[in-house]
Structure 1
Amino acid sequence: MINKKYIDELLDKLVNNQLTEEEYHKLIAIIDKAENQEEIKGILGEYLETEKAPGFASNRNEKDVDKLFNRIMKSIDEDELEVKGKETWVGKISMYQFYKVAAVLIFLVGLFYFFNNDAFISQDTAITTSGCIDKDNVILKLADGEVVVISQNEQKEILGRKGGIVAEQNGSWLTYTGKNKTKKVSYNELSIPYGKKFDLVLADGTHVTLNAGSWIKYPVQFSIDGSRKVFFKGEAYFDVAEDKIRPFVVKTGAVGVEVLGTEFNVSNYPEDSQINTVLVEGSVKIRAKNNKDDKTSSRLLLPGHKAAWSNENGSMTMEKVDVSKYIAWKEGILRFENMQFSDIRRKLERHFGVSIKNNNQVLERQVYTATFKEEGIEEILNAFKEDTPFEFELNDNRVIIKTD
């Protein structure tokens, strides 16, 4: 039985440029268990129709999926003719299984270039649609599909379709200049690689601080009526410009956060089991995807409280919290409270832009409370090592923790 929920989680990571090589191979292995090609198409086609794949569902249909899949299978058939009769490396795996895996591999790679021609960001490397590779920079995708590489040590103007200035970049800040309201809304997308933070000022004056590994889709100028809506994955701190007529809505996974003017922190990484919203000041309404105004799926959040939406059972809980713990990342502080190393490891990967492979299962389950600010990745690992002895290797941006 194929676990579609887990596949969705891995596809979320792929869409949000957070899929590791190990997870990629897991995804391939899982889909390879599909009994037939229709099941493979079904899994990926269903995903395209969900809100988890931002920008995909609005203009995709079954013919699109079939068209791409047929192109892939045609190329697979041609490749099969070329290698027929030759020795292959597949060993005990049947040629049918090999070509089925190859089809899935090409399907996953072609999915995003064929459907969306999107930028692809991994935790190590940013690959733009032009084929350029950049390990250090933020990626901005404009409404017309143009991809702009943003280096955090430069200043420049971002031009719109008609040549007018729509935004100005100053180092790690991107500020949208258009204050005019419009009837036709066009969206930009901003992707932040691991190891980086970035500040975005929207056209209405809303200030968004984006944590590492985050993605946001937002209007270049907001509509003259209705809500000010943005789509988001990752972690960010929102300081929303007040507008008593047009509420500001953050759509993230199964949750929508609606405000008029306030400050709050949202965390929704694909690997997390919860979507957490922490209110600093003001008031917000947390609304689940089903839009019901009941205590389970729609709640008013008070300052100093956290709303946690469970992705597993679709329920919401609220509690009073120490807000400083949830917004410390803005100052470059890492705070872990009663957290398993498996979760700490993922936060370290995002914060430092590294990959950490942990082969020590005792360490993986260990629970820690710790705070770090100036320390580097090696110093932090050595600090954990004092409590639970282990050995590790650090080469470039890869950490390998050895077995127990």
Structure 2
Amino acid sequence: MTEQEAKALLIKYEKNECTPAERTLVEGWYIQAFDTKELPEGKVNFAAIETEMWSNINASGIQPEQKTIKLWPRISIATAAAMTFLVLGLGIYFFNARYSNHQFKIASENDIAPGRNKATLTLEDGKTILLSGAQKSVIIDANKLSYNDGTEIISIPRTAALVSTPRGGTYQVTLSDGTKVWLNAESTLKFPSSFAGEEQRKVTLKGEAYFEVAKNKKQPFVVSTDKQEVQVLGTHFNINSYPDEVSTKTTLLEGSVRVNQTILTPGHEAVLTNGIIKVNKVNPNEAIDWKNGEFVCNNEPLNSIMRKISRWYDVEVVYSHPELKNKTFSGSLSRYDHVSGVLNALEQAGTIKFKLEGRQIQVL
């Protein structure tokens, strides 16, 4: 591709005249331009860039004609740097013109910020402590409670406590045995201040959490939800057990766990639906996308995606037509964007529109 051809393609994109394949290429340039900070030195070989880009797109299995809508392709770092130079060199104006008119069309004055560190700690006697949003983690000890930077919260020992994140909140908890737990939005973890003298290290979860369990062969770690029990000795796993989800999902990243009577190995997920467990081979990193600051979609129905958005941005979602819930998307979105950025990215990816009024998202 020559520089002149690249310019022509950008102009074509600005006029909304690109084919689905051309749009995929250009939007790959756009996204990588803002993800990459360094520019390549010397003259850019546009023909080589085009060949590598299409090679990466084909390898990723993108088929614009399919019903599943791809948000963007994943390309190599080298290609990303070249694309950055290409977009900036040819004039990011085209993208700015297009996105300045549309990027905040959904919401400008009433845009909603993403969730943040926010949680409450409830002690056994009913006392509630609002945890600091400037901190990200609370450390549980039999003699005191403190933040990860050592700041003490309370020095009176308690036998049990409960950490809850609201909609639009997330927090990390380090238990007395050294186990680390990351809580997603609208989740609750109940635990004792000490596991000393107990046969098991048992906690209770409602919502979603990622666990890095401290190893202790003599004292198994048990996570109880309203539908299942997960038993481990020391491992990394994620549990999604929201009341509004049809299934409870337990995804194993490292080690071994037993879900009810089913043993999981790394890279597998136990899906519990109506009392029946089905084990699937999965990419476990997709299950902890929220912990890594992303919404990762893989042929995921819009209804499922919007439930995540609803919890993270604390919004209500309504559909103008029920069939819209079944549209599927693949790709990833940043959980650090304002809600308008996420919604506009979904709009750009397919034939769907959103309207934001207050804290309600209308799917049109």
User: What interval of TM-score do these two structures reach, taking the shorter chain for normalisation?
Assistant: 0.5 to 0.7
Q: Which residue of 1 aligns with 2:8?
A: none
**Among 252, 258, 268, the residue aligned to 1:305:** 268
| DSSP 3-state at the match of 1:331 | coil
**Among 195, 219, 224, the residue aligned to 2:192:** 219
Q: Does residue 256 of structure 1 match 2:229?
A: yes
| DSSP 3-state at the match of 1:271 | coil
- 2:341 maps to a residue whose letter is E
In 2, Cα distance between the equivalents of 1:217 and 1:280?
A: 23
Q: Which residue of 2 aligns with 1:284?
A: 257
Q: Is the 8 A contact 1:189 1:215 kept in 2?
A: yes
In 2, Cα distance between the equivalents of 1:266 and 1:317?
A: 15
Q: Is the 8 A contact 1:206 1:238 kept in 2?
A: yes
Offset of 1:197 from its aligned partner?
1.6
**Among 220, 234, 244, the residue aligned to 2:217:** 244
Can you list the C-alpha shifts for 1:265-288, whole angstroms capped at 9, x where unaligned?
11111011111111111111111x
Unaligned runs of 5+ in 1: 1-123, 125-134, 288-297
Aligned runs of 1:347-362 on 2, under 5 Å? 347-362=308-323
Unaligned runs of 5+ in 2: 1-111
Q: Which residue of 1 aligns with 2:340?
A: 378
Seq. identity, %:
31
**Among 325, 328, 352, the residue aligned to 2:289:** 328
Q: Which residue of 2 aligns with 1:190?
A: 163
In 1, Cα distance between the equivalents of 2:333 and 2:237?
A: 23
Q: Does residue 146 of structure 1 match 2:127?
A: yes
Offset of 1:209 from its aligned partner?
0.7
Can you list the C-alpha shifts for 1:223-281, whole angstroms capped at 9, x where unaligned?
41310100001111100111111100000122100011111111111011111111111
Q: Please identify the structure whose Cα radius of gyration is greater.
A: 2
In 2, Cα distance between the equivalents of 1:224 and 1:345?
A: 44
| DSSP 3-state at the match of 1:316 | strand
In 2, Cα distance between the equivalents of 1:360 and 1:174?
A: 51
Flag the 1:174–1:274 CA change in 2: closer, same or farther, 3 A.
farther
Q: Is the 8 A contact 1:192 1:213 kept in 2?
A: yes
Offset of 1:352 from its aligned partner?
2.1
Q: Is the 8 A contact 1:158 1:165 kept in 2?
A: no
Flag the 1:228–1:381 CA change in 2: closer, same or farther, 3 A.
same
In 2, Cα distance between the equivalents of 1:190 and 1:361?
A: 36
Flag the 1:187–1:375 CA change in 2: closer, same or farther, 3 A.
same
Q: Is the 8 A contact 2:140 2:175 kept in 1?
A: no
| DSSP 3-state at the match of 1:324 | helix
Offset of 1:191 from its aligned partner?
0.9
- 1:393 maps to a residue whose letter is K
Q: Which residue of 2 aligns with 1:345?
A: 306
Q: Does residue 274 of structure 1 match 2:252?
A: no
Select the structure with the greater relative contact order (CA < 8 A; seq sep ≥ 6).
Answer: 2
| DSSP 3-state at the match of 2:178 | coil
In 2, Cα distance between the equivalents of 1:299 and 1:375?
A: 38
TM-score by length of 1: 0.56
Q: Is the 8 A contact 1:175 1:201 kept in 2?
A: no
Flag the 1:370–1:229 CA change in 2: closer, same or farther, 3 A.
same
In 2, Cα distance between the equivalents of 1:156 and 1:368?
A: 33
Give the count of matched residue pairs: 248
Can you list the C-alpha shifts for 1:132-182, whole angstroms capped at 9, x where unaligned?
xxx98411110111111123125999999xxx95210248x999999x9xx
| DSSP 3-state at the match of 2:291 | helix
In 2, Cα distance between the equivalents of 1:382 and 1:224?
A: 53
Q: Is the 8 A contact 1:340 1:368 kept in 2?
A: yes
Q: Is the 8 A contact 2:187 2:206 kept in 1?
A: yes
Flag the 1:339–1:158 CA change in 2: closer, same or farther, 3 A.
closer
- 1:304 maps to a residue whose letter is G
Flag the 1:285–1:136 CA change in 2: closer, same or farther, 3 A.
closer
Q: Which residue of 2 aligns with 1:44?
A: none
Q: Is the 8 A contact 2:117 2:135 kept in 1?
A: no
| DSSP 3-state at the match of 2:285 | helix
Q: Is the 8 A contact 2:139 2:173 kept in 1?
A: no
Flag the 1:281–1:319 CA change in 2: closer, same or farther, 3 A.
same
Q: Is the 8 A contact 1:136 1:193 kept in 2?
A: no
- 1:322 maps to a residue whose letter is N
Q: Does residue 399 of structure 1 match 2:350?
A: no
Offset of 1:308 from its aligned partner?
1.2
Flag the 1:196–1:174 CA change in 2: closer, same or farther, 3 A.
farther
Flag the 1:391–1:317 CA change in 2: closer, same or farther, 3 A.
closer
Offset of 1:388 from its aligned partner?
4.4
Q: Which residue of 2 aligns with 1:81?
A: none
Q: Is the 8 A contact 1:176 1:201 kept in 2?
A: no
Root-mean-square deviation (CA, aligned residues, Å) is 3.2
Flag the 1:355–1:318 CA change in 2: closer, same or farther, 3 A.
same
